Structures are given as structure tokens and as C-alpha cells.
Amino acid sequence: MFERDPLIESDIAAYLDQRIQKDLVRFITCGSVDDGKSTLIGRLLHDSQLIADDHLETLKADSQLGVGNGDIDFSLVTDGLKAEREQGITIDVAYRYFATRHRNFIIADTPGHEQYTRNMATGASTADLAVILVDARKGVVQQTRRHSYIAVLLGVKHLVIAVNKMDLVDYSEDQFLEIIADYNKHSANLGIGSLEYIPISALHGDNVVEASAAMPWFSGQPLIDYLNAVNVTEPAKAVEFRLPIQLVLRSHADFRGYAGSITSGQVRPGDRVTALPSGISSTVERIVTFNGDLKVASAGDAVTLTLGDEIDMSRGDLLVKENGKVEFDASVEAMIIWMDEKPLALGEQLILQSHHGTANVTVDAIRYLLDVNTGKEAKTAVLQLNDIAHCAISADRKMLFESYETNRAGGSFILIDRVRNSTVAAGMISGPVSPWDQTPKDSLEVQASTIAAGERQIRYRQHPCTILLTGLTGAGKSTLATALERCLFDRGNSIVRLDGENVRLGISKDLGFTAVDRSENLRRVAEIAHLMNSQGLIAIAALVAPQANARARAQQLVGADQWIEVFLDTPLAVCRDRDTTGLYEAAERGDIEEFPGVSAAYEAPEDADLRLDTAGMTVDQCVNAIVELLIEKGFVDG
């Protein structure tokens, strides 16, 4: 039987202090309608002796109006709305608090009906764990799959599949194992952090708080023991300090404090912090709270920080540890859950509200509609109530944000209708809109030339194209590009050579060598090559270009009919031996991050137009092979 903490009777102050120090775990119950979610929560609270006596008497009386058989209807503990009790369903999200000797818990009882998906998503958005109920008689149904997908989408890392109503299938182990096999098949590609299966009967209490005598074949632990033991804490090194500023306090002339609730990480006096978006750094002097100064403050604490320097900050700004990185852009990619009965209209002015303030925004594009039952993507031009879609959103100003996967608080937002002031969507940011996907301003138009493409072809005696030489550092891209340029020039062709190193001395001098920066470098080169092609010229681009997706986007930008991809397939050992700059040695020491071939992948082209082994071919042989390909494809004369 569940043990009541003796401190409640002997020392209530010590008991309350003990409760404050415990971990807090937030979890939701979800699943299909009538799977017993509310009953499970009621049973948890009842068997944990956490229902007050007067509430219990009211519950018994109300139960007789419903079931009328003398038993307590535990679903009434959370079904608080009149409509819920009349219909026997959950409509709104009901939150309940309870505590064991080990932990504090906040439960969100979410509705099972598909029409209330938005309510379920609201509950999942702050949860550490989801208890998904499955009716043992029905097995895995559409709502089971739907709620599993939404929970994972919203960052819930731990799932418990509670197979309920085992009493109605005679506590059958075979039925339980069949449901496990079915769910495993569905969830294989969901990316669930941890998954637990527990057979229960919420009505009779089997495996809820006490182990079930009716299921001796189950060797696992009851639900409450699992909830007490599961590790939902992120590793400290993976959690960056974040303090969104809500208010700047000036209680007197000598005090300036920056107030807010820490959303992640920890901070101590003496820590170096940076204010964003200004980028100004200072040192934390004090952590001020209502109960006195703290030596350390953690996520969830409401604090006021004083700094060694007076920094101009206001509501919506962000404090991070020094050198902490947060995105600052006016456009984002995000998954949104549409919560309004009025469909989304692309281009409609909405208000985005997040931890970092508000901005006027528009949804510019719906990348795809997500079918949460199957995980498949579909094209659509409109979003209806409860639809989930990946969208591109642009704001009238730059905003601070992080990806939802990295930081829930920094990556979440709501969209508000400007006229009705009602919440119409919830969103989870995946990152900034890729430069590949950004669209020009509506006011811009292509300025046509009076010289036709055919005229340029006659003048230059060639058809324009872009030749991408891609391969590892040391494969010989620059050497080959220079030799090819000389050969084509001597043949009378008009060409432009875009060497990766030369490009980084100019238009890409602001870029580093991360995967994102390499992709952007290739995009810029592709844009230039496209312009050169439009003027009738042949462009030779020599870049590592390690990402297959980025190369495919470059081909799309230039045009597949004008694109030639040449893969310099040179062994890594040969490239390393050719390196006179020490780059490979530095990468192997860990001095250079994301170095293709050492600390990052080089995704070799699978369908290149030409593959050259520069370890076994001379430069002239490689040049001749490319020229022969150009002649074969009709870009230059034979």
C-alpha cells in the first residue's frame, strides 16, 4: 500500500521544505477517447492518498449519479467541466499536482477526441513524459499513433504505453505482447528517447501504484515506481543558460536589476554573461530573489541579476553565458499546429509572441502538411483546424530564437489573430529559413537583356554551363580548374573561374567552415555562376561542396540542363599526403571542427557526370576528359 509521509503529521514545515527540494516531473496522459486516461489519474491520486477527505466524499456522491453501483468513478477527479461529466469525456486539459516521497508531479489530462488535438498539443508542449493509454480490447488505434507522433514532435522524450483495461481481456499476456509488437512496428521511426510498456487496470488499480497479483507474468514495475525512477534531466553540459528579460528594475539610483525566469541552465555570481542581441558582455554580481541572494540559480527560478556593468536591455532581450550563440533573424522555419476554426490564409498579418517579445509576421509558405497518423508529408495551400504543417514565417524585424529541439522555451511561440486577439496557432522553430529558400522582395523584377541567348551563343561559339569540381581538400580541384580554364581559353571559349579560396577572399569572407557556412558558400557561387551563364559564359567552380543536398540545390538553381558535376575521387590518404598547409594534421588533433574527411562527412556524388581519379591520372588527362564531355554534351565545339 502507498505509504503516507509521516512528516505530514509530525513536522509540516519540514515536509513542505522537503517537497520544495524534490525534482519536478511534468507528464501527460493521452490516447484515444474512453481509454481510461482520467480514470488512471484519479486512481493514481486515490491510491497515493492524495485526495482530500471532503473531495473524496463529494466524489463518492457524484459517482452515484453516474455509475450508480457503489464504486467510485475516478474519472470525475479531473473531468471538471459540466460538459465533460455529462458526456463522459475529457474536453479541456486538466492539470493536477501530486507528490511522492521521491518527486513532485504535474499531470496534464488531455482529451482523446481528434477535434481536441490542439488541447492535447498544449499539454504536451511542457511535458517531460507521456503516458499513452491503449485499450487492451482495441489495441493500437489511429489516435494512439496520432498522439505518439504529436508527443515526439513536441519534444517529449519518454513514452509509457499503458495497456489499460487488462481486466476486460482476462489479464491476457498474449494480448499484451500482441499490442507491444504492433506498437513497436508503428514507432520504429519516430525517434522516441525511451519507451516502456506497462499492463494496467486503472479501474481496479492493477500495476498503477501496487503490483498486480492478477498478472504474475509481468516482471516490470508499477506505473508509479517508473514515474519515480525515470531520468528526465538533461545532462548539464547539454543545457545552456538562458534568461529572457521580462523587466528591468530600478528600485533606487544605485540598483539596476534584470528580472526574468531562467528557462534553462544555471548561473552563479562571477559568471560572464552576454546580452543579446547587443552582444555586450559583463559579469554577474548578485542573484537577487524575494528570499535573499542565491549562490546558484537554475531553470525555473525567478531571479533578478545585477551585473558589473550597466547594459541597455529591455523586455525580450536575452542573457546567455559569454560566447553563447542564439539565432537572430527575421525569418524562420517552423512546425505549427493550427488551432483556429478559420483556415490559415497565406500572407495574412499575424502577431508572433515568444519569450523574446512580439513581432508582426506572415506565413509565407506551407512547405508540407504532416499526416500524423502515417508520418507522411503532403502538399497543401491551406491549413484547417488541428492541421500540423511545416511553414516558412517572416517577421517585420529580426528576432532572437533557437530551435525547439535544442531549447523548448527559446524555440516555441504562438500566433495571434490581430483583429480578434485570439491564439490561432502554436509553433516550434526548426531554424532560420535557409538562404536557398528565401524569396526576393515582391518589388524586385528580373531586368531583361536586349541580347538574346542565341546571339551570345553565336558570338562566343559555345553554350553556357557550370562545371562543379568537387572533392576532398587536396584532391586537386584548384589545380584542375586552372588548367581547364587555360585549355578552354586557348580553344577560344569564354569562361570564368570561381575558385573556392578566391571566393572566400571576397564575397564569402564572412563565412566559416561549418556545414551551414559551406552550404551558403556553394549557394553564393551557384548564384554567380547562374548570372555568368545568363551572359553566355562557361563557369568553372572549384569547391569541396561536401553536402549532397547542397549540390542538388545548386544544380536546381543553375538549371539541370546547364550543370556538370565532376567528382575528383581521390583517396583520403593521397589527399592527406598532398597537404602542405597542415590542415589534415590540425583536423586530426581536433583544432579544426567539421573538416570533411576527418571530423565531418564528405557525401560522395553517386551520379556525377564525370568521375576522375586524380591519384592515377595526370592533370592533362583530367582536362581532356572534361573537354570531351563538354563536346559530347554540345556545350563547346569539337
Locate 55 and state its grid cell.
473531495
Run of H or E including 133: strand 129-135
Cα distances from 471 to residues 104, 486, 574, in angstroms, run 55, 21, 12
Run of H or E including 550: helix 548-558
What is the signed CA dihedral for 551, 554, 559, 561, rounded to 10 degrees? -30
Report the SS3 class of residue 178: helix
In DSSP terms, 210 is beta-bridged to 206
Locate 311 and state its grid cell.
547594459
In DSSP terms, 296 is beta-bridged to none
- The superfamily in CATH containing domain 327-432 is Translation factors (2.40.30.10)
Q: What are phi and psi of 412, to 5 degrees?
A: -110, 155
* Contact between residue 235 and residue 198 where contact means Cβ atoms under 8 Å apart: no
Mention the CATH class of domain 7-229: alpha beta
* Closest of 232, 437, 215 to residue 332, by C-alpha: 437
d(CA 415, CA 351): 6
* Contact between residue 464 and residue 537 where contact means Cβ atoms under 8 Å apart: yes
DSSP line for 551-608: HHHHHHHH-GGGEEEEEE---HHHHHHH--S-HHHHHHHTSSSS-BTTTB-----SS-
Terminal Cα-to-Cα distance of the chain (whole angstroms):
91
Question: What is the pTM assigned to this prediction?
Answer: 0.74
Other residues' Cβ atoms within 10 Å of the Cβ of residue 331: 19
* Contact between residue 298 and residue 214 where contact means Cβ atoms under 8 Å apart: no
Locate 208 and state its grid cell.
498503477
Alpha-carbon 280 to chain mean position = 28
Ordered by start, the domain boundaries in the chain are 7-229, 241-321, 327-432, 453-632
Positive or negative, the Cα torsion across 410, 415, 418, 423? negative
d(CA 377, CA 371): 6
Amino acid at residue number 320: V
Q: What does the pLDDT read at residue 70?
A: 53
Average pLDDT per 10 consecutive residues for the chain, totaling 638 residues: 59 65 86 82 76 61 55 62 41 73 85 72 87 94 88 90 95 96 88 92 91 94 93 68 93 88 93 94 94 90 93 92 89 92 91 92 93 84 91 93 88 92 92 85 83 94 97 95 97 96 94 91 96 97 96 96 97 92 87 89 95 95 97 93
What is the signed CA dihedral for 605, 608, 613, 617, rounded to 10 degrees? -160
DSSP line for 316-331: T-EEEETT---EEEEE
What is the DSSP code (8-state) at residue 344?
B
How many residues belong to the chain?
Answer: 638
Sheet holding 495-499, edge to edge: 495-499, 538-543, 466-470, 563-568, 610-612
Q: What does the pLDDT read at residue 86?
A: 44
Instruction: Region of 249 please: left (phi>0), alpha (psi -120 to 50) or beta.
Output: beta
Report the SS3 class of residue 357: strand
* Contact between residue 538 and residue 462 where contact means Cβ atoms under 8 Å apart: yes
Q: What does the pLDDT read at residue 82?
A: 38
Cα–Cα–Cα angle for 202, 148, 127, nearest 5°? 75
Note the CATH number of domain 453-632.
Answer: 3.40.50.300
* Contact between residue 583 and residue 473 where contact means Cβ atoms under 8 Å apart: yes
* Contact between residue 381 and residue 155 where contact means Cβ atoms under 8 Å apart: no
* Contact between residue 154 and residue 122 where contact means Cβ atoms under 8 Å apart: no
Note the CATH number of domain 241-321.
Answer: 2.40.30.10
DSSP alpha helices (H): ranges in 275-432?
Answer: 408-411
* Residue whose grid cell is 500524423: 372
Locate 332 and state its grid cell.
524562420
Check for a shared fold between 7-229 and 241-321: no
Q: What does the pLDDT read at residue 54?
A: 59
* Residue whose grid cell is 550563440: 325
Provide CB contacts within 8 A for 491, sequence distance 6+: 627, 636
Run of H or E including 148: helix 142-153
Locate 333 and state its grid cell.
522555419
Amino acid at residue number 439: T
* Closest of 531, 585, 598, 591 to residue 559, by C-alpha: 531
Locate 406 and state its grid cell.
535544442
